[in-house]
Amino acid sequence: MPTERLSEVLAAMALVGERQAVSLVDRVCLAAVALLSLSGAGLSLMVDGELRGTAGASDGPVAAIQELQLTLGEGPCVDAWANRTPVLEADLAWPAATRWPAFAAAGVAAGIRAVFAFPLHLGAIRVGVLVLYRDRPGALGDAELARGLVLADVATHVILGLQAGAAPDELHVLLASEPPYWAEIHQATGMASVQLGVSLDEAFVRLRAYAFAHDRQLRAVARDVVERRLRLSEDGRTA
């Protein structure tokens, strides 16, 4: 990790900490926004290729865009995780950007034009993805890409450092303090698993498919399941 780039990132994180009372994970995202002239940045935890939580974000709208990938099951987070390499999309509105047709259309509608995803890993250990967003098209310059890679390295060490101080079977409190709707999604997944007699992974896929088919946010579907206004049947319909 280049010393000069690392010093830039750490200095930006320290400045953020002086200005705002935010978690260490959020500081990484806010430092990324400042250093790379971004519209937003998010740090997502991944489990077996599935987005399972937003550990940090620069602001509210970014968390919603991260959730969009959870609902659709496609996007830069998924590809960066699967391929273990940065995913750099300079213009989501360009006709050739067809690798995520649903995410690209929804992202553009939400005001996102460029997205850059960096996998967070240390050797064989993979923990998540750092995703950077811009509201204008354009590729990262060489210096920006170098900073993005260092930011990803710092984010990886932050997460691993935090988790080292947690119980073996639990997430560190700063990683587990996800938005309230994530708890509803987890609860709804458990309820659907019992109702349908399927695994948690399969129940999660069913919830996501229902949300996509009915053009609804996953959090809204989860809330209906938790509050027993919605029950999924085995054929995917409501019961």
Q: What is the pLDDT of residues 116-152, one digit of tens each?
A: 999 998 887 788 899 999 999 999 999 999 999 999 9
How does DSSP classify residue 106?
H
Strands of 48-146 (E only): list them. 50-57, 87-89, 114-122, 125-134
Half-sphere exposure of 62 (CA within 13 A, CB side): 25
Which residue in 142, 228, 156 sits closest to 192, CA to CA? 228
According to the model, what pLDDT value does residue 205 have? 79
Residues of the chain with CATH 3.30.450.40: 3-172
CATH fold label, 179-226: Arc Repressor Mutant, subunit A (1.10.10)
DSSP code at position 23? -
Q: Give pLDDT, residue 174.
A: 47
pLDDT at 44: 83
Provide the 8-state DSSP code for 140: P
Report CA torsion sign: 192, 194, 197, 198. positive
Answer yes or no: pTM beyond 0.75.
Answer: no
| Cβ atoms 107, 68 nearer than 8 A | yes
pLDDT at position 192, please?
87
CATH T-level assignment (fold) for domain 3-172: Beta-Lactamase (3.30.450)
For residue 171, give both structure tokens.
């997430």
Cβ–Cβ under 8 Å, residues 120 and 156: yes
Tell me how crowded residue 162 is: count the other CB atoms within 10 A of its CB: 18
Q: Return the minimum-mean-pLDDT range out of 103-112, 131-140, 163-172, 224-233.
A: 163-172
**Tell me: the pLDDT tens digits for 222-232?**
889 989 899 88
Task: State pLDDT tens for residues 39-91.
Answer: 889 888 776 655 556 656 676 567 677 777 777 778 888 889 888 999 999 99
Q: What is the pLDDT of residue 234?
A: 61
Give the pLDDT band (50/70/90) at residue 195.
confident
Contacts 24+ apart (CB under 8 A), 146-149: 146/2, 146/5, 147/5, 147/8, 147/9, 147/35, 147/36, 148/32, 148/36, 148/86, 148/116, 148/118, 149/86, 149/118
| Residue range(s) of every CATH 1.10.10 domain in the chain | 179-226
Beta-sheet strand order (sheet of 40-47): 50-57, 40-47, 125-134, 114-122, 87-89
SS3 7: helix
Task: Outline where DSSP puts E strands in the chain.
Answer: 40-47, 50-57, 87-89, 114-122, 125-134
